[in-house]
């Protein structure tokens, strides 16, 4: 049973990473998202989560951006953590 859980978790993590890489590949710079890429990712993958998040650029800054104003990989994980916490607390309902 434990190996099935790990397998499901690995698949979930792989999917989260691959979604990021699909959105970063457009401009050839892996592991960072421009404001435009972040907006496209959020609008496609997280439309219900971001309804109450306010301005996307402000959300990006709150997560932490690099010197170029881009969202780094670790900040993307911070966003995933925020979403996970909200799901756990029942604040988002179904975010599909």
Q: pLDDT at position 88, please? A: 84
Q: By percentage, how much of the chain surpasses pLDDT 70? A: 80
Contacts of 96 (CB under 8 A, 6+ apart): 48
- Cα 7 vs. chain centroid, distance in angstroms? 21
Q: pLDDT at position 87, please? A: 81
**What distance in Å separates the CA atoms of residue 76 and residue 58, rounded to the nearest whole number?**
14
Residue at token pair 């881009």: 70
The structural domains of the chain, ordered by start, are 2-26+38-88 (1.10.238.10)
**What confidence tens digit (pLDDT) does each residue in 38-95 have?**
888 888 888 877 665 566 777 778 888 888 888 888 888 888 888 888 888 886 655 5
Return left, alpha or beta for 28; rule: phi > 0 is left, psi -120 to 50 is alpha, else beta. left
**What confidence tens digit (pLDDT) does each residue in 3-37 have?**
556 788 899 999 999 998 988 887 767 778 888 88
Global pTM exceeds 0.95: no
Signed CA dihedral, 17, 67, 58, 84: sign only:
positive
Q: pLDDT at position 38, please? A: 84
């Amino acid at each position: 049973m434990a190996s099935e859980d790990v397998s499901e978790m690995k698949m979930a993590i792989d999917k989260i990473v691959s979604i990021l890489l699909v959105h970063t590949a457009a401009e050839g710079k892996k592991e960072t998202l421009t404001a435009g890429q972040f907006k496209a990712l959020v609008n496609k993958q997280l439309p219900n989560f971001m309804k109450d998040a306010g301005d996307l650029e402000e959300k990006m800054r709150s997560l932490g951006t690099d010197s170029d104003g881009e969202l780094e990989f670790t900040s993307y994980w911070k966003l995933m953590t925020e979403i996970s916490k909200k799901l756990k607390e029942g604040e988002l309902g179904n975010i599909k």
